[in-house]
Amino acid sequence: MYKSTKVRDDIVWIGVNDRKIEKWESHIPLDYGVTYNSYVILDEKICIIDGVEEGENGDFFRKLEATIGDKQVDYIIINHVEPDHSGSINSLLKMYPNIKVVGNTKSISILKLLNINIPDDRTVIVKEKDVLDLGKHKLTFYLMPMVHWPESMATYDMTDKILFSNDAFGSFGALDGAIFNDEANLNIFENEMRRYYSNIVGKLGAPVNAILKKLSSVEISCICPSHGLIWRKNIDKVIEKYQKWANIEAEEEGVVIIYGSMYGHTTEMAEILGRQLDERGIKNVYIYDSSKVDISYLFSAIWKYKGLMIGTCTHYNMAFPKIEPLLQKLENYGLKNRYLGIFGNMLWSGGGVKRVKEFADRLTGLEQIGEPIEIKGHVTPNDKEKLIELANLMADKLIADR
Ligand code: FEO
């Protein structure tokens, strides 16, 4: 057993890396793969916390057997029923005749919907703050509805102060050797964690805040999520990030410019905005062509920076086809606390910019900067002046916040 897979001498990571998976929940690209983290506690009673995706059971069971040998497993705690964690249950039930599935009332009923039927005598139903005694380790439970499903919960090891947080504090990205945050290069993980948060639970700020409040008085030495790195250092920093994301507060000064363009005119507008923001000393300026960049990356960037500028050409009186789903998703998630600039283009009939404006008017938590700019065809010198003025207004707002 690798020393570095031990969370403690008697708590071992038996998670698996999935580098083959193309898309999370069939729609979010996973360029860096993903982990399904699972943990086994070796005590008088042997307890697994969360299983893995069914297709990854081979590696999971190899690690489990390498850790416990021919001992029996007593419990599998299902913090969350989504198949990336419940995919091992049927096999565990067959392999370990005495194993019991630990979950809350909701989790057991949702398991049935996934055709995982557990006999009553092999089920342990727990409520908030119930205690599961393994011997040395005493585990308790914190319900965290809608982080990420209604039945989601976290398991807390009262003995070692470890929080098994399931999807909370999770991240995309397979683990490239290191499993602890202090051993890994965080460059990719910080972005993948935000991309995971903003897309998977970005809509669920209130439930995330509720669990953060619940845990605020709990001493935590280590956070073991079900995806991504284990956080055993700088825990306060990761909690602080979560708090910001839950409140949809930007992390940094900067402007994300996202546009949709068919003939290059809206692209030209975006370039002018970017250049002027640079002239004004705004360092974090990122321009994205919506036709090429997946919406999950756009969401992650929007969650990070305070300024947002959305540009669109007109497509049959609507916004560009790749901008439309972005607007819908942002509205559904209730984006707020951002400065927003709107720009776009038309040839003979408008509608694209109007569509973005209507979206912005409905999201009352956005502060619109200046008036939307909609130009006809190529950018004239007069149009360029208007765009420079819009960029200046955005820069003024950001600079005033310093
Ligand atoms: Fe990792 Fe909501 O499943």
Domain boundaries of the chain, sorted by first residue: 5-247, 252-401
> Does the C-beta of 151 come closer than 6 Å to ligand 1?
no
Task: Kindly give the distance from the C-alpha atom of residue 53 to the centroid of ligand 1, in angstroms, as a whole number.
Answer: 10
Closest approach atom of ligand 1 to CA 166:
1
Closest approach atom of ligand 1 to CA 148:
2
Closest approach atom of ligand 1 to CA 200:
2
pTM of the model: 0.95
Task: Kindly give the distance from the C-alpha atom of residue 303 to the centroid of ligand 1, in angstroms, as a whole number.
Answer: 20
Look up the CATH superfamily of 5-247: Ribonuclease Z/Hydroxyacylglutathione hydrolase-like (3.60.15.10)
Q: Coil, strand, or helix at residue 341? A: strand
> Does the C-beta of 82 come closer than 6 Å to ligand 1?
yes
**Sole residue written with tokens 């669920």:** 204
The predicted structure's pLDDT at residue 3: 59
Task: Kindly give the distance from the C-alpha atom of residue 193 to the centroid of ligand 1, in angstroms, as a whole number.
Answer: 13
Asked if 332 and 362 count as a contact pair (C-beta separation under 8 A), the reply is no
The predicted structure's pLDDT at residue 138: 98
Q: Whole-angstrom Cα distance, residue 152 to residue 25? A: 17
For 335, half-sphere exposure in the C-beta direction (CA atoms, 13 angstrom radius) is 30
User: Which residue's C-alpha comes closest to atom 1 of ligand 1?
Assistant: 167
CATH no. for 252-401: 3.40.50.360
CB proximity list for 141: less than 8 A, separation 6 or greater: 104, 126, 127, 128, 129, 130, 132, 153, 154, 155, 156
Q: Whole-angstrom Cα distance, residue 232 to residue 244? A: 20
Closest approach atom of ligand 1 to CA 170:
1
Q: Coil, strand, or helix at residue 163? A: strand
> Does the C-beta of 322 come closer than 6 Å to ligand 1?
no
Count, residues in the chain: 402
User: Which residue's C-alpha comes closest to atom 3 of ligand 1?
Assistant: 82
The predicted structure's pLDDT at residue 1: 56
Asked if 371 and 258 count as a contact pair (C-beta separation under 8 A), the reply is no
Q: What is the DSSP string of 299-318?
A: HHHHHHEEEEEEEE-EETTE
Q: Coil, strand, or helix at residue 385? A: helix
> Does the C-beta of 266 come closer than 6 Å to ligand 1?
no
The predicted structure's pLDDT at residue 2: 62
- Alpha helix positions (H), 48-138: 57-68, 83-86, 89-95, 105-113
Asked if 56 and 29 count as a contact pair (C-beta separation under 8 A), the reply is no
> Does the C-beta of 167 come closer than 6 Å to ligand 1?
yes
pLDDT averaged over consecutive 10-residue blocks of the chain (402 residues)?
A: 82 97 96 98 98 95 96 98 96 96 95 91 97 98 95 98 97 96 92 97 93 95 98 95 95 98 97 98 98 98 98 96 98 98 95 97 97 97 98 98 97
Q: Whole-angstrom Cα distance, residue 184 to residue 178? A: 5
Nearest to 6 by CA among 236, 227, 224: 224
Task: Kindly give the distance from the C-alpha atom of residue 83 to the centroid of ligand 1, in angstroms, as a whole number.
Answer: 8
207 token code pair: 């439930």
160 token code pair: 């070692």
Q: Whole-angstrom Cα distance, residue 42 to residue 172? A: 28
The predicted structure's pLDDT at residue 26: 95
